[in-house]
Structure 1
Amino acid sequence: MNLQAVDLLGPRSERHQSNRPAVAPAPPTFAPQATGSEGPLRVLVVETDARAADTLLKGLVRQGYGTRSVATGAEALRDHRDSDLLLLDLDLPDLDGLEVCRAIRAVSDIPIITITARGSELDRVLGLQAGSDDYLVKPYGFRELLARIEAVMRRVRSQPAAAPQVIHHGSLRIDAGARIATVDGEPVDLTRKEFDLLHLLASQPGTVIPRRQIMAQVWDDAWSPNGRTVDTHVSTLRGKLGSSKWINTVRGVGFRLGHP
């Protein structure tokens, strides 16, 4: 049997054209370092195809990784904080994978490897520009994935620990590590969710953040078109910041940080 042929995990459309079960990854020819600083490396697999996710999880577990999987962008935004590495499919049912990648990269340095059937040069460029550390096109060999994981984690291990991020936006200063926001040097008394919302907007200045993404990332919740949670918190934030111009509403889409 051709070993290369059975060592492939293909795009969803190709897999569904066959009645064969998902192929288990072939054992690697080397032993990757599947440990982090506090035990097994925790890998979050974001994959909508249950069979593909199961095959990938089993292969990673055999290599000593700690694994879990989710099937939506909202779950990825919620659960990435508890992981050391993200394997991200771009074709998600609720959010565009590139937007998920950008949103996570804006608030986290977690290594991200995009695994997708989108294989054009433009797709690769967009994926890397969105914040992916590496880009792997389906179908791919499991050995190659392991090698890419090790290469990405090797680069991460060689980097010094990043200092807590401080964002400056005009007279607004946000210290993510201390969870303190000030305007003109004066502290602003914010609740936990108000701070998270403000930090999300400030981490992507000039970018309109959709309500759906805000609900998923700040409230770990599904978005409802009739919900007023985000609008209520935005209104309160404007009052505490001293000007309604700090947060701009883009009707029918979401919000972005403004300039008073």
Structure 2
Amino acid sequence: MTAHVLLAEDNPTQAEVIRRYLEQDGHRTTVVRDGPSALRAAERIRPDLVVLDVMMPGLDGLQVCRKLRDHNDVLVLMLTARSSKADVIRGLEQGADDYLTKPFSPRELALRVRTLLRRAGRTPLGETGIARVGDLAVDRGSRLTHVGDRAVECTPVEFEMLFALASAPGRVLSRAQLLDCAFALHRNASERTVDVHVRNLRQKIEADPARPARLLTVHGLGYKLVDPAAG
């Protein structure tokens, strides 16, 4: 699946290497060097996916991600220094769909881009349908989520996790299983990554996120999705 990728990376050498790998995969790539330019380019070209370095002049990647999430659901892949795990958590909280820690292989980045795009834009045969748990409906075909009559905006990773849970109501899915459902390559991801996405989902689907009644923690095992009206 080819796409228009916006790459925001202030290191010219690294940006050129990434650009070459993305274009070898058939993607059209626009490169910018700072946060304000990333926001202007995202508004102008409407990319399918944004690759954001956390450390950029003007506005950092976390600020750019937050501003992007204010008005669209573009896929966001965050790049962060290996020594800054806190940046990973903050990036996910701001709505990033996946992340890579530096140093990384450009080939791995290209694979993550490919899989994120496939998850968001291509539905494999046999994975269509609507998963329902009470008044929560997750539509695989249209990629829409509703709680009752209310539409819920999910990032692609959140959608994949929610669809997996809704497809097996009441069944406990481990963090490893949820990582496998939602991420291209999850060897760098952690259980904390899943917890952050679950917290974001609770903000969207729970009447009281502090006291969840739908998306429940099963301590020591993982998470499950239930119908709160079923008692």
Match of 2:22 in 1: 60
* 1:236-251 equivalences in 2 (<5 Å): none
Does the alignment pair 1:110 with 2:92? no
Q: TM-score, normalised by structure 1?
A: 0.45
CA RMSD of aligned residues (A): 2.3
Distance 2:84 2:34 in 1: 23
Match of 1:122 in 2: 86
Which protein is bigger by CA-based radius of gyration?
A: 1
Q: Could you tell me how far 1:54 is from its partner in structure 2?
A: 1.2
Contact 2:7–2:15 (Cα < 8 Å) also in 1: yes
Q: Could you tell me how far 1:162 is from its partner in structure 2?
A: 5.6
Count how many residue pairs are aligned between Structure 1 and Structure 2: 128
Q: Could you tell me how far 1:138 is from its partner in structure 2?
A: 0.9
SS at match of 1:140: coil
1:62 partner letter: Q
CA offsets 1:9-45 (integer angstroms, 9 cap, x no match): xxxxxxxxxxxxxxxxxxxxxxxx3x2xxxxx10110
Does the alignment pair 1:72 with 2:39? no
Q: Summarize the Cα distance change of 1:105–1:114 in structure 2 as closer, same or farther, 3 Å threshold.
A: same
Match of 1:50 in 2: 12
Match of 2:120 in 1: 156
Q: Summarize the Cα distance change of 1:162–1:70 in structure 2 as closer, same or farther, 3 Å threshold.
A: farther
Match of 1:146 in 2: 110
Match of 1:217 in 2: none
Distance 2:27 2:70 in 1: 26
Unaligned residue ranges in structure 2 (runs of 5+): 124-139, 152-231
* 1:6-45 equivalences in 2 (<5 Å): 33=1, 35=2, 41-45=3-7
SS at match of 1:93: coil
Q: Could you tell me how far 1:161 is from its partner in structure 2?
A: 5.5
Does the alignment pair 1:137 with 2:98? no
Unaligned residue ranges in structure 1 (runs of 5+): 1-32, 36-40, 167-260
Identity of aligned residues (%): 37
Match of 2:158 in 1: none
Contact 2:81–2:102 (Cα < 8 Å) also in 1: yes
1:59 partner letter: Y
SS at match of 2:7: strand
Distance 2:68 2:144 in 1: 16
Distance 2:61 2:20 in 1: 23
Q: TM-score, normalised by structure 2?
A: 0.51
